Structure 1
């Protein structure tokens, strides 16, 4: 990927994180922000929205760190297992293990006596549904081999990025962070092949331009010699 498209990916992902966090944050914290809107307190409203946007930028940076870390891990995995199908099988096992841990560990750490397991299945189902949708879109736009890696990224990597909030189990931050992470991760994985194709096209154009300039310079040199 060219540096120009890499910078574009960074800023666009940052924008996605900021906008999504601001929108979801207003909905999640509406009970806190409603008095500001009711009394039309512009300063307080703007302060709250700007704070949410800044937090969205932070979530976006975490997402991008996880994205580039996974790209490195994915290459290592292919190199170690020497087979895409074997590496995909390992990723499927890790996906199942991660989802089990998400449900089981949260239930054992935060459930009160007599609590049902069903409410603790919600976050896992959210990751699975969004992950399957994004992986399907990715494989449709590229190839079938992209399905498992995309699903792994959307579930396991998002879960790892989500750990700080999972540990404290804060209701205000719980879904706010994961929705922002899912939005940023989905954007990055779905736009990656497009930016790579665009980068390759730009390289070809530069090479053609250089070849044309070299040809013109060669003709000029030949004429001057004659």
Structure 2
């Protein structure tokens, strides 16, 4: 991939992540943004755009870190199937942690674990759909790596919001997650188009 395509990938991912985060952030707290007049709305949108842009940069670093890890793991395990099984185990471990550890850390006496299941499961289902799309556009070996990146890596990038009690609210969790999930989806589905190939794991 040449420099022009790298620049396109960087700025398109930044714009998509920042825009999606700004839109969701404003819609989730619309009254606050429109109650202070037009200048309050403009500066509020710019502020949310900036926060979302910073979060999308985290997503980009996470993607290239995973690509490096993926190649390193293939060389280490010497087997695509073994590395895929390792990723599947890690995916299940992350799913369990995302539900149970947040419940233990933040649940009040009145809350049940059911309230901490919905968001992780919605994220997991979405990641499965994106991974299936990646498989359709490339090859069958791409499904597990794509699912691992979309779910496990996105969750790791989401950790700052998940572990800070002051942002452990549905609104702020979505504000943090939206730039991550849109940026990661875009990166995953655009890379093979830019490179003219596919994320093959059998090399």
Count of paired positions: 194
The corresponding residue for 1:144 is 140
Q: In the alignment, does 2:106 pair up with 1:122?
A: no
TM-score normalized with structure 1 length: 0.83
Equivalents in 2 of 1:10, 1:50: separation in Å? Answer: 20
Equivalents in 2 of 1:30, 1:117: separation in Å? Answer: 30
Among 150, 155, 167, which residue is 2:151 paired with?
155
The corresponding residue for 1:164 is 160
Q: In the alignment, does 2:8 pair up with 1:12?
A: no
Q: In the alignment, does 2:77 pair up with 1:81?
A: yes
TM-score normalized with structure 2 length: 0.92
| Root mean square deviation, CA, Å | 1.2
Deviation at 1:34, TM superposition (A): 3.9
Question: Do 2:84 and 2:145's aligned partners in 1 also have CA atoms closer than 8 Å?
Answer: yes
The corresponding residue for 2:201 is none
Q: In the alignment, does 2:90 pair up with 1:97?
A: no
Among 47, 50, 53, which residue is 1:54 paired with?
50
Deviation at 1:123, TM superposition (A): 2.2
**Deviation by residue 1:118-143 (Cα, 9 ceiling, x = unmatched):** 11012211221110111011000001
Equivalents in 1 of 2:141, 2:45: separation in Å? Answer: 40
Instruction: Return the index of the structure with the highest Cα Rg.
Output: 1
Equivalents in 2 of 1:105, 1:125: separation in Å? Answer: 15
The corresponding residue for 1:176 is 175
Equivalents in 1 of 2:135, 2:55: separation in Å? Answer: 26
> Gaps (5+ residues) in structure 1?
199-226
The corresponding residue for 2:109 is 113
Question: Do 1:21 and 1:53's aligned partners in 2 also have CA atoms closer than 8 Å?
Answer: yes
Question: Do 1:127 and 1:154's aligned partners in 2 also have CA atoms closer than 8 Å?
Answer: no
Deviation at 1:33, TM superposition (A): 2.1
Equivalents in 2 of 1:178, 1:129: separation in Å? Answer: 15
The corresponding residue for 1:220 is none
> Gaps (5+ residues) in structure 2?
198-203
Where in structure 1 do 4 or more consecutive aligned residues deviate above 4 Å?
none
